[in-house]
A = this chain, B = another copy of it.
């Protein structure tokens, strides 16, 4: 079912990882989740560029050639129309001490089936009590240290489908797994990158679409309620309308056009 590659070889069953690997012990690594449509990894170069940049900031070794070799090998085993490729990079093993350096990072690549038809067609969100920390790397980089997002998503369970997270200043940031966009008239808004949001690859492509005035800005909760429509973007689901926030309905203008254009873009890629 699942194809797994670890440090330059395919792996069957369990992963032969060192028990001192900092990815496992300290969430010390980064990852990318990439849509695979018809055996092609969508926007692969952009995902790997983002990973390289995050790894550089965190001082984690990133061997692009080794990662690309692994991705190529794994994609040769692609078996269905829609799949999800995950590339995980950890710092590897170090001496004791948080700031300790590693000579060799670990690379884990996996490919799993993914069914776009089973993804939610719309989402009800609740505002989380857990804030995104815009001063911290974990809010800007796609790191393995995901526990706050997990806790926030768990908080929403039973009440909503996911949470909308504010940053520590009280401005709107994102959901746990998607960037937020608002549509108002001919304008498309999204929180600017210093607000504690991931520089989403799909976010970037939405900001390139013609036909709207685009603005990266500071967004408050009232702006969400005042919008004609709100949606989340990510690499797997692309565009998902948000219909409710804390039990209040949001603007219901269709975002089908944006969704369709992104679907076309990603199948073509």
Chain A contacts to B: CB under 8 angstroms: 2, 4, 6, 11, 13-21, 23-28, 31, 57-59, 86, 88, 90, 97-99, 108, 110, 129-131, 133, 135-138, 141, 143-151, 153-154, 156-157, 168, 176-177
Q: Return the chain B residue nearest A29 by Cβ.
A: B147
CA distance A103 to B133 in the complex (A): 31
Set of chain B residues within 8 Å of A19, measured between Cβ atoms: 2, 4, 6, 11, 14-15, 108, 110
Distance in Å: Cβ of A144 to nearest Cβ of chain B? 5
Contact A151 B136 (CB under 8 A): yes
CA distance A126 to B221 in the complex (A): 36
Q: Return the chain B residue nearest A132 by Cβ.
A: B133
Say how many copies of this protein the assembly contains: 2
Distance in Å: Cβ of A257 to nearest Cβ of chain B? 28
Task: Answer whether A99 and B153 are a contact pair too, CB < 8 Å, given A16-B14, A17-B15.
Answer: yes
* 9 interchain residue pairs of minimum CB distance: A27-B27, A145-B145, A145-B147, A98-B153, A168-B168, A133-B133, A14-B16, A26-B146, A99-B153
Contact B24 A24 (CB under 8 A): yes
CA distance A4 to B24 in the complex (A): 14
Which one, B23, B58, B144, B148, contacts A133 given CB within 8 A?
B148
CA distance A13 to B143 in the complex (A): 27
Contact B25 A88 (CB under 8 A): yes
Contact A131 B135 (CB under 8 A): yes
Contact B146 A137 (CB under 8 A): no
Which one, B13, B28, B150, B168, contacts A147 given CB within 8 A?
B28
Which one, B16, B129, B176, contacts A135 given CB within 8 A?
B129
Contact A27 B145 (CB under 8 A): yes
Q: Return the chain B residue nearest A150 by Cβ.
A: B98
Contact A131 B133 (CB under 8 A): yes
Distance in Å: Cβ of A9 to nearest Cβ of chain B? 13
CA distance A2 to B95 in the complex (A): 13
Task: Answer whether A144 and B26 are a contact pair too, CB < 8 Å, given A58-B151, A151-B58.
Answer: yes
Task: Answer whether A138 and B147 are a contact pair too, CB < 8 Å, given A133-B133, A168-B131.
Answer: yes
CA distance A177 to B97 in the complex (A): 9
CA distance A23 to B97 in the complex (A): 20
